[in-house]
Amino acid sequence: MVKGGKKPLDLRITLGDLLGSGTRALTRYTGTLLTVFVVQSLVAIAAMLACAAVLAQAFAHLPVWDEAVDGDLVSLALCIRFAKANMLACAGIGFGALLLWQLASWFLAGGVYGVLAQRPEGRSETARCFGASGASTYLAYARLALCALPGYLLVLFVFATCAGAMLNRIEHALTVGDLVLPVAVSLLPALAILHFLWTVSDYARVELTLRHESHDPGALATYLRSVGFVVKRPLTLIHASLGWLGFVLITVGYMWLSTGHPMFGAEGAVTLFVIRSGVSLARLAIRFAVLAGQVDLGGSRALPPRRVEIKAEPKAP
């Protein structure tokens, strides 16, 4: 192994540049964004159909379930008590879909980073780039996920510790004012660490994608280098947090607007599906824009050490 060339951090890239990268990527690679969204929706729809089959098996003949779904608390309590196993099965299906998506996301994220890094022209070239990049970095991303695991355990530990210390306060809170501080103390440290770790993972992925062919960096070394990079460039955290802020605002906004507006019947169900899909697409677009900014900023990083393999040449006969 030999050391790679060191270059100073490029401090000229600003938050405005990163946001600009995001909007450019959204307009230029809308098809890529939609592809990821369609795949994600397909996973969600598959989960939905599986859950529907499980629930219908228990409730198709019981009108009380209709009332429960329409928001009648008493009916809902009855149904949950009656069909605990079916409810657990639905939770299991949801969890399974999440795991499946996690596995698929390594490929999809690799593809997205590849497209954003290589900036291919044309639909077919973009598709080829997406598939090739996703496939080539898949295992590296999987190894990266393993490297990130201890960090997530730390997040859990911090959350458990803080929440444990605050539990009594939360339990006995009388007003929202009483609740704010203990909840913040319970959540914010863990969320801050989680945000840091997710940003580190993002930049590690960028590095693995950008330098995969030229430097073939190791997952652990990349992860650790990315920790250093994120620490040195707080802009990375600010940029990513803006993305999460948008994500939360859209989600909370949707919840706020939908409260008290139940949509009954088939027409309502279709309307709801369209609105939910729109919300999901908007959130995914934000995430996509953040990834684009990360690729630009990640490209400014110092090159990683190059791994050299010496292969023995077979002797000529």
Partner 1 sequence: MVARWALAVCLVVACGHDHGPPKVRKLDPRDKPDGTPALRGGGPARSPRIANYKLDARFDAVRHQIAGTETLTWTNTGASPVDKLPFHLYLNAFKNEASLFMRSSHGESRLAKASDSGWGWITVDSLMLGGVEQVAKLRPVGLPDETVTELPLAQPIAPGQTVELNFKFTAQLPEVFARTGYKGDFNMVGQWFPKIGVRTGPPGLEQWACQPLQALTEFFADFGTYDVAITVPTTHVVAATGVLVSEVESPGGTRTYTFHAEDVHDFAWAADPFMQFKYGLAHVDEGQTVKVQVFYRPEQEAFATRHLQAAIGALEKFSAYFVPYPWSVMTIVDPPPDAAMGAGGMEYPTLVTTAGDSVFVRPGVKLPEFTTVHEVGHNWFQGMLASNEPEEAWMDEGINEWADAHVMADLYGARTSGIDQLGFQAEITALRVALGEDPASLPQPIATAAYAFVDFDTYASASYEYTLRALLTLEHEVGSTKFLAAMKAYAKAFAFKHPTGRDFYTTISAQLEQDLGWFFNPVFQQVGGMRLSIRSAECRQAHGIRGLNEAKKTVLEADAPDTGTWVCEVVVQNTGVVHVPVDVELRFTDDSTQRVHWDDRGNGTFERFVVEHSTKLASVRLDPDQKILIDSPLDHAYRLEGDGAASLRASARIASWAQTLMQVVGP
The least CB distance from residue 265 to partner 1, in Å, is 8
The least CB distance from residue 11 to partner 1, in Å, is 25
Nearer to partner 1, 87 or 303 (CB): 87
Hey, what amino acid is at 179? Answer: L
Q: Cα-flanking dihedrals φ and ψ of residue 58, to 5°? A: -90, -35
| Tokens coding 34 | 């939609």
Nearer to partner 1, 111 or 305 (CB): 111
The residue with tokens 């290589």 is: 118
Q: What is the DSSP letter of 11?
A: T
Nearer to partner 1, 22 or 182 (CB): 182
Taking a C-beta distance cutoff of 8 angstroms, is the pair 75, 67 a contact?
yes
Nearer to partner 1, 179 or 224 (CB): 179
The least CB distance from residue 9 to partner 1, in Å, is 25
Nearer to partner 1, 197 or 305 (CB): 197
Distance from chain centroid for Cα 142 = 15
The least CB distance from residue 253 to partner 1, in Å, is 13
The residue with tokens 């040449």 is: 313
Distance from chain centroid for Cα 74 = 36
3-state secondary structure of 306: strand
The least CB distance from residue 308 to partner 1, in Å, is 32
The least CB distance from residue 90 to partner 1, in Å, is 6
| Tokens coding 26 | 């959204």
Measured distance CA(205)–CA(295) in Å, rounded? 9
Alpha carbon dihedral 139, 200, 229, 205, in 10-degree steps, equals 30
